[in-house]
Structure 1
Amino acid sequence: MLDSRPPSTVLNYYNAYYCPVCRHGEISALPLMEAFSCNFCSHIFTANLDKQAITIVDSQLPLTWSWTGKRWQNIRSVQRFQWGYRLLALGFVVLPTLVVAAGAYLFPVLPDSPLAWFSWFWVGLTFLSHLVCLLWLILEYYQFPLSLYFEALRDNLLSRLSSLN
């Protein structure tokens, strides 16, 4: 198949590309397989060279990215469920916070009591705890290697500091 793009911008098994998941490692072809693997986050991708796209295979959700020649572009394969998930996530964070806030508003404590601040502190804690749970679920679902990402940032910062000295 002949392609009108220059060879350097075409997705093939001979070049290495940056990882679309962690954006730190490089994906390259696995030996004796028609697949790519990241050397940083260890995700495995299958390639469709005709469509210039890769799909992650070690995740529950088959995320697909298309190679534009310079960067990866996300292809939304599950767009019909996207708004439902967003509303569910918003409800998971906002609804319990509103219930606790309604309790704090409707049943106020005496203003001169020593723990008068605690009810509104509890509202904020409810919001933050549900938000942290939601972020944790997102990180687990997409299998983003957060610890490896922070380790790479630390190594990058240390290398920059050592180059200044």
Structure 2
Amino acid sequence: MKPEKIDLEEHYPCPRCKRGQLKAIVLTEAFGCDRCNQIFGLAEESYTLEQLSTSYPYKKAWQWSGTVWRDDSRGIDSTYLPAAILVVILPLLLLWLLTVMDFPRTPSMVLWSLLTALLLVIPALMFWLSLRQRR
């Protein structure tokens, strides 16, 4: 669906709380929700509505389709899959390389390779858990 231009003279439902109405704030290019008191500003030639009053590092953004808001946030999600694949495949590749090469298989070598793999997987797990908590 093609986004519609957001008009300051119109009233829209709040994209955050879904119960309130957005009303234009006088002398600004911003909207305020009458229910949750969030403030939203216009961006990208009035096609995108961004949440302004947030401490979250990635701005939430929406586009109006004529009937509903479509989430247009650009955050860390777009880089999640390649980073997760890299962090999971790298330790597996390292373990495979250690088993294929003709290294002496001492218990200390196995322990070091497992420790290395664990240290590479833990940040991926923390990253995944932080993304799940955000939603």
Into which bin does the TM-score normalised by the smaller protein fall? 0.5 to 0.7
Contact kept, 8 Å, 2:14 with 2:22, in 1: the verdict is yes
- In the alignment of these two chains, the number of paired residues is 87
TM-score of the aligned structures, taking structure 1 as reference length: 0.45
Q: State the partner residue of 2:21.
A: 26
CA distance in 2, matches of 1:90, 1:45: 23
Secondary structure at the aligned position of 1:80 is classed as helix
**Structure (1 or 2) with the greater helix fraction:** 1
- DSSP-derived class of the 2:9 partner: coil
* 1:14-163 superposed matches below 5 A: 14-48=9-43, 50-61=45-56, 62-78=59-75, 79-80=77-78, 82=80, 87-89=128-130, 134=133, 138=134
Q: 1:48–1:89: structure 2 CA closer, same or farther, 3 Å change rule?
A: closer
Q: Distance in 2 between matches of 1:49 and 1:19?
A: 19
Q: What is the DSSP-based 3-state SS (H/G/I as helix, E as strand, rest coil) of the residue aligned with 1:88?
A: helix
Q: Which amino acid aligns with 2:128?
A: L
CA–CA separation in structure 1 for the residues paired with 2:61 and 2:28: 19
Percent identity over the alignment is 23
Structure 1 spans left out of the alignment, 5+ residues:
92-133, 140-165
Alpha-carbon offset, residue 52 of structure 1: 1.4
Q: Please tell me the root mean square deviation across aligned C-alpha atoms, in Å.
A: 3.0
Conservation of the 8 A alpha-carbon contact between 1:30 and 1:36: yes
Contact 1:55 1:65 in 2 (8 A): yes
Tell me, in whole angstroms, the C-alpha distance in 2 between the residues paired with 1:10 and 1:89. 34
